[in-house]
Amino acid sequence: MSEKRKIELEYLLKTSVKVFENLIFTPSGLAEWFADDVNVKDDIYNFQWDGSNESARLTNKKLGSFIRWQWIHDEEEGLDTYFEIQYSVDPLTKALVLSIVDFADEEDYDEIKMLWESAVQELKRVLGA
C-alpha cells in the first residue's frame, strides 16, 4: 500500500451558493464540469471520463459547507483518503471560497493537481465567472 500525499487547492468564484450547490450536489451538475457523465445509485457515484469509469462512495455532505467522497479502489485498499469540495462565502467580498482536498500517489500528484485545475477552469466557464 502506497502513502498518498494531500492536495489542497483554493479558488474564489463569483457565484451564488444556490447555483454552486446545484453543480456539486447533483449528478447533472457534476456532469457539467467535473466528469463527462455521472450516475448515482444509493451512495455510489459512477464518474465517466473519455470512456473510463471511476466509482466513489459519498461519505458525507452538508449543504452550505461541503461534500466528500472516497474512491472505491482506495476504500478497498483500506486507505483513509477522500476527495472533498468545501465552500463558504467570504463575508467581505461575498465571493464564494472553494477549497478542494484530494489525495494522490507521489507519482500522480502533479497530474491530479492539474486535473483539478482544469476541472475548476471548466467550473468557472460553466458559471460564467
Q: What is the residue extent of each domain of the chain?
A: 4-124
Sign of CA dihedral 92, 16, 84, 111: negative
The mean pLDDT value for 37-54 works out to: 96
The mean pLDDT value for 52-61 works out to: 97
Which pLDDT band, with edges at 50, 70 and 90, does 76 fall under?
very high
Matching CATH number, 4-124, of 3.20.20.70, 3.30.530.20, 3.90.230.10, 3.40.50.1580: 3.30.530.20
Query: Above 90 in pLDDT, residue 51?
Result: no
Query: Above 60 in pLDDT, residue 1?
Result: no
Q: Taking Cα atoms as reference points, which of 10, 20, 7, 36 lies closest to residue 103? A: 7
The mean pLDDT value for 50-72 works out to: 96
What is the percent of the chain with per-residue pLDDT over 90, rounded to a whole number?
95
